[in-house]
Amino acid sequence: IVALPLALAFGVSSGAGAEAGLITAIVAGIVAAVFGGSNIQVSGPTGAMVVVLGPIVASHGVGAVATVSLMAGIVVLGAGAAKLGRIVSYIPWPVIEGFTLGIAVIIFLQQVPAAVGSHPGSSSNAFISAVQSLTHVDVATVAWPLASVALVALIMVFVPRIHKKLPGSIIAIIVVSVIAAVTALPLAKIGLLPSSLPTPRLPSFDPGALQALVGPALAVAALASIESLLSARVAASISDTGPYDADRELVGQGLASIASGFFGGMPATGAIARTAVNLRSGGRTRLAAIVHAIVLLGVVYLATGVVSQIPLAALSGVLMVTATRMVSVSTVRSVIGSTRSDTVVFIVTAIITVSVDLIVAVGIGIAVAAFFALRNLARSGGVHREELPTPTQPEDEHIALFRLDGALFFGAADRMLERVTRIDNVSVVIIRMSELQVLDATGARVITEMIHGLERRGITVLIKGIQAKHLRVATRVGVITSLRHQNHLFTDLDKAVSHARSHVSRIVAASSSEARTKNSSR
In terms of Cα–Cα distance, which of 101, 38, 453 is closest to 252?
38
DSSP designation for 88 = G
Tell me the pLDDT band of 208, cut-offs 50, 70 and 90: confident
Least confident of 74-83, 124-133, 199-208: 199-208
How high is the mean pLDDT of the chain?
Answer: 88
Task: Examine the pLDDT at 522 and tell me if it is beyond 60.
Answer: no
Pairing status of strand 428-432 against strand 399-408: parallel
Are 76 and 221 a contacting pair, CB within 8 Å?
yes
Task: Examine the pLDDT at 237 and tell me if it is beyond 80.
Answer: no
pLDDT of the residue at 165? 76
Are 306 and 178 a contacting pair, CB within 8 Å?
no
* pTM beyond 0.85: no
Average pLDDT over residues 73-94: 91
For residue 200, cis peptide bond before it (omega within 30 degrees of 0) = no
pLDDT of the residue at 149? 94
For residue 213, the surrounding DSSP H or E stretch is helix 207-238
Tell me the pLDDT band of 520, cut-offs 50, 70 and 90: low
More confident residue, 153 or 107: 153
Q: Burial, 322: exposed, middle or buried (Cβ in 10 Å; 0-12, 13-18, 19+)?
A: buried
Q: Distance between CA atoms of 138 and 264, rounded to whole angstroms?
A: 34
Tell me the pLDDT band of 418, cut-offs 50, 70 and 90: confident
In terms of Cα–Cα distance, which of 231, 256, 216, 334 is closest to 32?
256
- Cβ within 8 Å of residue 141, ≥6 positions away: 117, 186
For 324-363, how does the pLDDT look when each residue is reduced to its tens digit (9 = 90+)?
888 889 989 999 998 999 999 999 999 998 998 888 898 9
- Cβ within 8 Å of residue 261, ≥6 positions away: 66, 67, 68, 69, 70, 71, 73, 203, 267
> DSSP readout, 157-191?
HHHHHH-TTS-HHHHHHHHHHHHHHHHT----B--
Q: Burial, 89: exposed, middle or buried (Cβ in 10 Å; 0-12, 13-18, 19+)?
A: exposed
Average pLDDT over residues 477-486: 90
Task: Examine the pLDDT at 516 and tell me if it is beyond 70.
Answer: no
pLDDT of the residue at 151? 95
More confident residue, 519 or 9: 9
Task: Examine the pLDDT at 473 and tell me if it is beyond 60.
Answer: yes
Going from the N-terminus, what domains does the chain have, and what CATH number goes with each?
3-372 (no CATH), 382-521 (3.30.750.24)
Tell me the pLDDT band of 138, cut-offs 50, 70 and 90: confident
Tell me the pLDDT band of 519, cut-offs 50, 70 and 90: low
pLDDT of the residue at 267? 95
What is the per-residue burial (b if ≥16 Cβ within 10 Å, else e) of 445-466?
Answer: bbbbbbbeebeeeebbbbbbbb
Cβ atoms within 10 Å of 418's Cβ, excluding its own? 12
More confident residue, 510 or 474: 474
Side chain identity at 109, as an amino acid letter?
A: L
**Around 258, how many Cα atoms within 13 Å sit in the side-chain half-sphere?**
15
For 439-450, how does the pLDDT look when each residue is reduced to its tens digit (9 = 90+)?
999 999 999 999
Task: Examine the pLDDT at 182 and tell me if it is beyond 90.
Answer: yes
- For the chain, the C-alpha Rg in angstroms (whole number) is 33
For 289-301, how does the pLDDT look when each residue is reduced to its tens digit (9 = 90+)?
999 899 999 988 8
Instruction: Tell me the percentage of the chain whose pLDDT exceeds 70.
Output: 97
Winning range, highest mean pLDDT, from 126-140, 315-329, 340-354: 340-354
For residue 508, the surrounding DSSP H or E stretch is helix 493-521
Least confident of 148-152, 218-222, 417-421, 462-466: 417-421
For 20-45, how does the pLDDT look when each residue is reduced to its tens digit (9 = 90+)?
999 999 999 999 999 999 988 999 99
Q: Distance between CA atoms of 73 and 250, rounded to whole angstroms?
A: 9
Task: Examine the pLDDT at 125 and tell me if it is beyond 90.
Answer: no
More confident residue, 213 or 416: 213
Are 385 and 404 a contacting pair, CB within 8 Å?
no
Tell me the pLDDT band of 178, cut-offs 50, 70 and 90: very high
Q: Distance between CA atoms of 256 and 267, rounded to whole angstroms?
A: 8
More confident residue, 206 or 154: 154
pLDDT of the residue at 1? 63
Q: Distance between CA atoms of 430 and 402, rounded to whole angstroms?
A: 6
Task: Examine the pLDDT at 414 and tell me if it is beyond 60.
Answer: yes
Task: Examine the pLDDT at 424 and tell me if it is beyond 90.
Answer: no
Tell me the pLDDT band of 506, cut-offs 50, 70 and 90: confident
Beta strand segments in 412-484, E: 428-432, 436-439, 460-464
Are 42 and 29 a contacting pair, CB within 8 Å?
yes
Phi, psi dihedral angles at 183 (to 5 degrees): -95, 0
Least confident of 150-154, 339-343, 434-438: 434-438
Side chain identity at 91, as an amino acid letter?
A: I
Winning range, highest mean pLDDT, from 376-385, 392-401, 443-452: 443-452
Least confident of 66-75, 150-159, 415-424: 415-424
pLDDT of the residue at 515? 60
